[in-house]
Amino acid sequence: MRDLGAGFHYLLKGQRWVARHGKQYGFGLIPGLITLVLYGAALAALANWGGDAVSWATPFSDDWSSPWRGLFRGFLTVVLFALALLLAVVTFTAVTLLVGQPFYENLSEKVDRDVSPDGTAPESGLPLWRELWISARDSLRIVIRAALWAVLLFALGFVPLVGQTVIPVIGFFVTGFFLTEELTAVALQRRGVDLRTRLRLLRARKTLIWGFGTPLGLSFLVPFVAVFLMPGAVAGATLMARELLGEETRDGDDESDDTDDADDADERTVSGGLGG
């Protein structure tokens, strides 16, 4: 139970961090907005033409009498849209992180520098195309795992009583685990931690992971909320990744706020010194 609270605390700390760093929060919204538009268009298309797709896929029911043909195809259309919606929730984070790789890498590095005792952040040393390839490959593996879980839980949902009570709760915990894996991957991949090792780290601290990811997954069910929480979720996941690896972290909650203008001035000073 203590780890559950600690996981939720990291989620809140991440939101507070981006609230104190307005520029990072603004840039972090861009990938989520792009992904939201793409997913919205896809779901709208499915809602519009899903019935036609089901009719095309079930020619054997063309000769069924009314109302059985309509009920059967209507049920399949609802199931198709429900599966698409579930898949959208599960994959939204992965796609957003892939679209916003440069944005979230930059945000995660700034969080590391802000809370690191020596003010440094680990760097992968890989070119951007290589980082994108690794991120896409690992995200696909996670999406496949999550999709298998989604199909299993959807099937178990038809079990009387259990399917309407226990299975939805399990589903939220599973979703929270995979969401957290995707979010912590931003910081862990930069440290050279591969997917198998990441999963082992997360499984060893399941309650901490659930405390972070489960409430986040629940909030993602509310339209548009995912977009606005993503920057803070990346920041919080970076802080939690440091604990998973046992890295020393300076608590910056009570520090004076670093303004974006001050950060820009520091960068110009460093650049000027190098140029001189």
pLDDT for 105-147, tens place per residue?
889 999 999 999 888 888 877 787 788 788 888 888 887 888 8
Q: What is the CA radius of gyration of the chain?
A: 22
* Dist. CA 226–CA 141, nearest whole Å: 22
What digits encode the pLDDT tens for the residues 223-237?
Answer: 678 889 999 999 999
State the pTM of this model: 0.75
Q: How many residues does the chain have?
A: 276
Tokens standing for residue 97: 């992180």
Q: What is the dihedral of CA 111, 190, 116, 233, to 10 degrees?
A: 30
**Please, are residues 66 and 123 in contact by the beta-carbon 8 Å criterion?**
no
How far apart, in whole angstroms, are the C-alpha atoms of residue 255 and residue 113? 14
Q: Where are the domains of the chain?
A: 2-248
Predicted confidence (pLDDT) per residue in 207-222, tens digit: 999 999 999 988 877 7
Contact 58, 73 (CB under 8 A): yes
Euclidean distance between CA atoms 171 and 89, whole angstroms: 12
| pLDDT surpasses 50 at 266 | no
- The pair of structure tokens assigned to 274 is 């190098």
Q: Quote the CA–CA distance of 116 and 184 in Å, as a whole number.
A: 17
**Burial tier of 56 (Cβ tally within 10 Å: 0-12, 13-18, 19+):** exposed
